[in-house]
């Protein structure tokens, strides 16, 4: 049975999630990749242990993480049951529903039927009675926003989640959702969105500023742009890279000569700061109080240890910010 590091809280930084009482670690572990049917179980355990031993208390999942769909929740649930159960009250476990999960009209998007059924399935897969945060995973253009938000409220009132969040929303829809949930007195505290040096969508669609204005936290996924903001591609595309082995999320067309020049220039900035490119990219996300936490992915424990180093220096000069912006396109 696993025994946690007694000094696990000594160095991690914890940020308040919006105006709520919940603190999240500056770095969270996402189980999007490398926790599915095709992954090594002992390595999964080692990554969870390494994360928790270094103060990463937040483990982020979704109903469809795999492959196959649901596999990440099953594997994490096994690790939790066999090794991490004594530490459940020290952990933040989140999951989501909103993308395709099962056939037919009730396994996708944002209906009350889908969200509640999906969370029931997630809880069974993980073997737990509640999650700490439950997200609606994407905006639904066809289901009334009121129905989706009322489903989130019902989920909290049923005891199946402590807090709720929304993911991949834009600023105007966030504002509408906030108004509904405020009236319902639902503990809505956080937005999950893609954000990194190369992807500034939440700056363009108004969500970053609106979340701050409304007192909601933001947690970012893909802060390393699927590995582009690391030293992995400085000399081209390795044969064992995600571009070569799994083109679903990162395609070769995303790494043209201009992008490669930008990555190399950003790497030089990182060197001057005494950081790796990955450390600087994560630190850039955490440089101000807009961002509560960044979600890292990992394929081995050493990557988690490397990424945690980012919290050691999240202060940037105005000149550094301007130079990074220059190479962010």
Tokens 């679903």 identify what position? 248
Euclidean distance between CA atoms 230 and 280, whole angstroms: 9
For 55-103, what is each residue's pLDDT tens digit?
A: 999 999 999 999 999 999 999 999 999 999 999 999 999 999 999 999 9
Q: Which whole number is the average pLDDT over 139-152?
A: 98
Average pLDDT, rounded, for the chain: 95
Burial class (CB in 10 A: 0-12, 13-18, 19+), 104: exposed
Distance, C-alpha 274 to centroid of its chain: 26
76 touches 61 (CB < 8 A): yes
Label residue 170 by pLDDT band (50, 70, 90).
Answer: very high
Q: Which phi and psi angles does 131 have, rounded to 5°?
A: -110, 160
Q: Is 150 part of any domain?
A: yes
How far CA 300 is from CA of 42, 95, 235, in Å, comes to: 10, 22, 22
**Domain limits for position 300:** 14-227+285-315
Number of domains in the chain: 1
Residue 207 lies in a domain: yes
Q: How far apart are CA 13 and CA 196, in angstroms?
A: 20
In a domain, 295, yes or no: yes
CATH number for the domain that contains residue 309: 3.20.20.100
pLDDT (average), residues 301-324: 98
For residue 247, pLDDT over 60 is answered with no
Tell me if 51 sits within 8 A of 303, measured CB to CB: no
Place of tokens 């928790």: 52
241 pLDDT tier (thresholds 50, 70, 90) = low
CA distance 322 to 52: 35
pLDDT tens-digit readout, 175-194: 999 999 999 999 999 999 99
- What is the phi/psi pair of residue 276, to 5°? -75, 165
Would you say residue 132 lies in a domain?
Answer: yes
Does the pLDDT of residue 323 top 60, yes or no? yes
Q: Where are the beta strands (DSSP E) in 33-83?
A: 58-60
pLDDT at residue 197 above 90?
yes
Report pLDDT for 252. 64
Q: Is the pLDDT of residue 277 over 90?
A: yes
Please state which of the ranges 242-246, 271-275, 306-310 shows the lowest mean pLDDT. 242-246
Write down the pTM of the prediction.
Answer: 0.95
Query: Half-sphere exposure (CA, 13 Å, Cβ side) for 212?
Result: 9
pLDDT at 77: 98
Q: State the pLDDT at residue 98.
A: 98
Which pLDDT tens digit goes with each residue over 23-67?
999 999 999 999 999 999 999 999 999 999 999 999 999 999 999
Please give the pLDDT value at position 233.
Answer: 86
3-state secondary structure of 65: coil
Main-chain phi, psi angles of 95, to 5 degrees: -145, 175
């Amino acid at each position: 049975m696993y025994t946690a590091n007694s000094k696990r809280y000594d160095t991690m930084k914890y940020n308040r999630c919006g105006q709520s009482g919940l603190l999240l670690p500056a770095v969270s572990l996402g189980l999007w990749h490398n926790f599915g049917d095709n992954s090594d179980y002992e390595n999964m355990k080692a990554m969870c242990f390494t994360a928790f031993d270094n103060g990463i208390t937040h483990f982020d999942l979704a109903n469809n993480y795999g492959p196959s769909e649901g596999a990440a929740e099953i594997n994490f649930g096994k690790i939790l049951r066999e090794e991490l159960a004594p530490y459940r009250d020290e952990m933040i476990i989140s999951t989501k529903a909103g993308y395709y999960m099962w056939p037919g009209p009730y396994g996708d998007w944002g209906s009350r039927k889908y969200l509640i059924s999906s969370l029931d399935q997630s809880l069974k897969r993980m073997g737990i009675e509640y999650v700490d945060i439950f997200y609606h995973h994407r905006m639904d253009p066809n289901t009334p926003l009121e129905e989706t938000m009322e489903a989130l409220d019902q989920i909290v009132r049923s005891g199946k989640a402590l807090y709720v969040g929304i993911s991949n929303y834009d600023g105007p829809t966030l504002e509408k959702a906030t108004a509904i949930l405020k009236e319902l007195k639902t503990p809505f505290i956080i937005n999950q969105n893609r954000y990194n040096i190369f992807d500034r969508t939440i700056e363009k669609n108004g969500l970053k500023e609106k979340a701050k204005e409304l007192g909601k936290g933001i947690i970012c996924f893909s802060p390393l742009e699927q590995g582009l903001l690391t030293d992995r591609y400085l000399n081209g595309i390795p044969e064992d890279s995600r571009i070569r082995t799994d083109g679903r999320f990162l395609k070769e067309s995303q790494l043209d000569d201009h992008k490669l020049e930008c990555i190399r220039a950003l790497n030089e900035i990182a060197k001057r700061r005494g950081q790796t490119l990955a450390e600087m990219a994560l630190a850039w996300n955490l440089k101000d109080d807009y961002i509560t936490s960044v979600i890292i992915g990992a394929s081995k424990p050493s990557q988690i240890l490397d990424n945690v180093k980012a919290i050691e220096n999240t202060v940037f000069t105005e000149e550094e910010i301007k130079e990074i912006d220059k190479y962010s396109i």
